[in-house]
Structure 1
Amino acid sequence: MNAIDDALLQQAHYWMRLTRALDDRGTFLHKQSKIVGGYFSQIGHEALSVAAAMSLGPRDIIAPMHRDLGAYLVRGLTPRRILAQWLGRETGVTRGRDANLHGMGDLSLGIIGFISHLPASTGVITGVAHGIKLKGEPRVAMCFFGDGSASQGLAHEAMNWASVFKLPMVIICENNRYAYSTPLSRQMAIEHIAQRAAGYNMPGVIVDGNDFVAVYQAATEAVERARAGGGPTFIECKTMRMRGHAIHDNMAYVPKDLLAAWEARDPIARIEAELRARGLLDDAKLAALLTKIEAELDEAQAFAEASPYPDPATLTDGVYA
């Protein structure tokens, strides 16, 4: 991890800890029946979502998914707005029109709203990337999809188009081994999804998705390549979804030894081990950070719970025919 400076590593640690704490808060609120609709945890994905988002510049565009909470935070969506979104309030990102991360985007922050039907966001971000190229702008577009989406036709169409036209695009594949309950071995006959990149004549990179530095370095290199006109890069981040597909899913289909092996590779524990080795973190500093984050989330939750539900009279606002 020596290639990453201390300040950047500390910043990443904050975002990863905030991501996990907010995710835990969402799980707790759902159990209290305060969350509107379902809830999708992203425990285990903190390193890849934070690292990928941190590799982008302020004018770049990102299309995260339902397990990329860290990316939304890094790009500027506040815990206030996210919690209000989950609670279906007027002050949420969609002003109470939706819940959880579905549709949660903000173009002023360069965030394309997540499309529930995977991998629909790939087609959208390909169009964004093509627009950037046609305008000659020094910007990059980044999209995320999972191992299950990698078998969908739209993902292939998007990657093919991006490569043919050498679009400034970075494609992050979150290989967390299960598409809902379908293991990777039942949906493709190759070990590494990144092998498919060769079919589009684009670089295919495989990284440990639980290692912040590995993802950050790969994403930064891909972003720089795209910005310089080198075209798209496919990055496969190998990770594990540590909770069910959604909160109702008990993951009975996942072998317990597999979960235990990935729990030992927890992304937050790994970055904290490096911070301690550098003398940047000890028990007191960690306790202070966690206290600060909990206070931040307490304030955000109080704001969300005090916010009104949307006025039914505004139901059709923002709907176009």
Structure 2
Amino acid sequence: MRDTPINHPQPRLRGLDTMMLIRAYEERLALMQQNNGVPGTCTSVGQEACAVGVLGALDSRDRIITNHRSAAHLLARGADPGRLMAEVLGRVDGYCGGHSGSLHVSARELGVVLTSTIVGGGLSLAPGVALAQKMGQGEEGGVVVVFFGDGAACEGILHESLNLAVQWQLPLLFVCENNQWQAYVHRLETMADDAIYRWACGHGLDTQRIDGNDSDLVLEAARQAVGAIRADGRPRFLELLTYRQRGHLEPDDLAYVDQVERQRWLKRDPIALMQARLKAEGLLQDKELRTIEEQIHRQTDTAQAFAEASPWPDPQKLLQHVYAG
């Protein structure tokens, strides 16, 4: 189902491997959607350093709530790309038996509580999950991380969630992936102040704004935030400045995108930045990079073959795990 990944002893090289796997997985899905008409997904191409940096600071005690751009978070958490792709294709070997598609994946074994396609939906549930952790429903010292974008930051639920987290002193890390786009609308069209972390400051918690395309910086900031939460049980807030390189929903022709801005951000591609840095430090050679690329290509081939070979769900089980009030 999944090739054995290259297990670098150097954590930053493992992080690069994961970023490259995320990119290859999402680009393969986008190609499949373009050519084969498989269900569309919202990719996080260009945002890989955010996922790898934050998830690299967590351990098995921790819980994750994510959004419609969830593949990077899931893969960085250790999800199998074959099972993940099978879920997108609606097949029984997916993480939710093909019921969720790409937009509602949960994986208890990975600590992934929820993927919500509702903008800000994860923010509405995160305080409850963190309260359960605080009340002893999870392992001692466990932290809850909720990922959301700049679009969700414009929702009132952000302030409600922040208020509860501070008032109840919850072990909750808010991670805003500010990728410059809110579906098909640029964030500058909706925000008078683009510094989202300042909005959180008013609620009385520690906040930080980080270059989200630098996985080293993200990892260090996340480690500090998670360590502080474990120590005092108080929430923290990280705003990660990044860029969504592809459109809102695949396939997308990017006709609405300012190409000058896009090209400027492409020059700061997080994977290219990390590759260049590791080469400059003598930790990565061109030959080794080609080996990684070849193995990731095989992993992606294997994932696609597994997903496409997985059976369709039994129609008689269509209403399992579906609830009505």
TM-score (norm 1): 0.94
Aligned to 2:53: 51
Equivalent pair of 1:171/1:235 in contact (CA under 8 Å): yes
Paired residue for 2:73, among 53, 71, 74?
71
- Shift of the alpha carbon at 1:230? 4.4
Q: Hey, what does 2:238 align to over in structure 1?
A: 235
- In structure 2, the partner of 1:115 is 116
**Any unmatched runs of 5+ in structure 1?**
none
Amino acid at match of 2:120: P
**Equivalent-residue separation in structure 2 for 1:57 and 1:43 (angstroms):** 24
The whole-number CA distance in structure 2 between the counterparts of 1:304 and 1:188 is: 40
Runs of 4+ residues over 3 Å off in structure 1: none
Structure 2 CA distance for aligned equivalents of residues 216 and 68 of structure 1: 18
**RMSD of equivalent CA atoms:** 1.6
Distance in 1 (alpha carbons) for counterparts of 2:78 and 2:61 = 12
Partner Cα distance (2:40, 2:250) in 1: 7
Among residues 217, 220, 223, which one is paired with 2:223 in the alignment?
220
Aligned pair 1:161/2:159, yes or no? no
How many residues were matched structurally?
315
Tell me how far 1:191 sits from its aligned partner. Answer: 3.0
CA contact (8 A) 1:46 1:68 kept: no
Matches within 5 A, 1:96-135: 96-100=98-102, 102-135=103-136
CA distance in 2, matches of 1:86, 1:13: 24
Give SS of 1:260's match: helix
CA distance in 2, matches of 1:87, 1:34: 10
SS of 2:113's partner is: coil
| TM-score in terms of structure 2 length | 0.93
For 2:4, the equivalent position in structure 1 comes to none
Counterpart of 1:94 in structure 2 is: 96
1:292 corresponding residue in structure 2:
295
Write the deviation string for residues 2-31 of structure 1: whole angstroms up to 9, x where unpaired: xxx971101100100100010111011111
List runs of 5+ in structure 2 lacking aligned partners: 1-7
Distance 1:253 1:320, change over 3 A: closer
One of 306, 311, 315 as aligned partner of 2:314: 311
Distance 1:123 1:298 in 2: 37
CA–CA distance in structure 2, aligned partners of residues 304 and 249 of structure 1 = 23
The one-letter amino acid paired with 1:210 is N
Please tell me whether the aligned partners of residues 209 and 240 of structure 2 are also in contact (alpha carbons under 8 angstroms): yes
Distance 1:92 1:104 in 2: 9
